[in-house]
Amino acid sequence: MLNRKQILTRIFLPFLLVMLSGSLTVTAQSLRLYTPYPEITVPPGETIDYSIDLINNGASIATAEVTVDGIPETWSYTLRSGGWSARRISVLPGEKKTLNLKVELPYDIDKGSYTFRVLARNHAVLPITIEVSEKGTVKTEFTADQGNMQGHATSNFNYKTKLENQTGEKQLYALTSHAPRGWTVVFKPNYQQASSVEIEPGQSKDISVEIKPPYNVKAGKYTIPVMATTGSSSARLELEADISGSYGVELTTPDGRLSEKITAGRRRNLELMVRNSGSTDLNSVRMTAVKPRGWEVTFTPDTIPFIAAGESTQIRAEVKAYGKAIPGDYVINLTAQTPEINADASFRMSVRTPLLWGWLGILIILSAIGTVYWLFRKYGRR
């Protein structure tokens, strides 16, 4: 709040002066001030070059002290003429002198209309209005061309961002992120991984941000805030990663062994494990088998209704070997499939022949030996 004295000096005094000088120009109309752009609209931080003509309409040489009045304190300006910073300027009759007024707007200003005056004391007043088009930005700006990206859980998200130092000094920014657990965020200011970056005042730097989601991330939208901070200012940018679900299914056994012994013509149970390795839930996983002729494979259940992402289900497969299968290895291919994805597992079934004929052979040999024994008993002791 301005106190009473400030109100007096800032508002009433200039006003009084305007009234006063207005009355003075009426008395001595020989000097005039002219600029082609009395009112312009500029963004904050802009530097404006005015050229102001001081015109002498009178018949004698006129001298005036030229000052700028009413300009906000935070703005800076220079008034030069003919290469010098001149305070008093004389103009020949019927001629004009050009002055250069350079006004630098700070970044940190509010939107609105600002008016100041150029005075040729006792002669003329030139009011100039600067319309600031928007509220001045913060001192550091962190922006991204494309802040939203979509990809698979396994893909890398590469964002092109721009860090702009709008403060008046060189800044060393620390680059940090508040990513959820498991996410990896890497900043690469100059194509190299870094944790801080130095930017000259008014300069900007392209920083590519690489974001890698965790391997088991669920589908959905994730917001990853990244920050550039210094001791005095900070900028925050929210990057969005839209992870589309990936489908993955694996078919193994609980102990990972994919071979089993089986006797020809017999049945054998296999414990199978179907694992959802993707990031979306799977519905109705169907189990099928490619098997040699004469073999049978039945699954219980033959359709798994639901497997949540990352979870696994155990099922049982009953394999019946062909009765006339020869001993040795056979391959059966088991498949777990959904419309989106499938997984194969090749089982090596080592077929063994049943012992029935072996026992018959042993029986024949034993009977032959028994005959020999009987002969020994019968004839041997004569």
Partner 1 sequence: MKVTAIQHKYMTRAFWEERLRNIIPELRDQLISYRRSGAAPGVFRSMVLKEVGDHFRSWRVIILMVIILLTCIGSLYTALTAISDTGSAGNSDETFFFLHLFTLSDGSLPPFFVFIGFLGPLLGISLGFDAVNSEQNRGTLSRLLAQPIPRDYVINAKFVAALLVIALLFFVLSFTVIGAGLLTLGIPPTPSEFMRILSFMLLSIVYVALWLNLSVYFSVRFRQPATSALAGIAVWLFFTVFYPLIANLLIKAAAPSPYASGRSVYLFERFRFLLMQVMPNELYSQATSTLLMPSVRSLGPLTMEQMEGAIPGPLPLGQSLLLVWPQLTGLISLTIFCFILSYLAFMRREIRSR
Beta bridge partners of 124: 120
Shortest Cβ 354–partner 1 spacing (Å) = 9
Nearer to partner 1, 215 or 359 (CB): 359
Shortest Cβ 313–partner 1 spacing (Å) = 27
Written as one string, the DSSP assignment of 71-118 is --TT-EEEEEBTTB--SEEEE-TT-EEEEEEEEE--SS--SEEEEEEE
Residues within the interface to partner 1 (CB under 8 A): 291-295, 322, 324-332, 348, 352-353, 355, 357-358, 360-362, 364-365, 368-369, 371-372, 375-377, 379-382
Nearer to partner 1, 77 or 322 (CB): 322
313: left (phi over 0), alpha (psi -120 to 50) or beta: beta
Determine the Cα–Cα distance for residues 164 and 292; give it in Å rounded to an integer. Answer: 68
Shortest Cβ 300–partner 1 spacing (Å) = 23
Nearer to partner 1, 15 or 373 (CB): 373
Do residues 2 and 10 lie in contact, with contact meaning Cβ atoms separated by under 8 Å? Answer: yes
Residue 356 is given by DSSP the state: H
Shortest Cβ 253–partner 1 spacing (Å) = 19
Distance from chain centroid for Cα 321? 56
Nearer to partner 1, 26 or 372 (CB): 372
Q: Sheet holding 249-252: strands in order across? A: 249-252, 267-276, 312-320, 296-300
Shortest Cβ 254–partner 1 spacing (Å) = 24
Nearer to partner 1, 148 or 335 (CB): 335
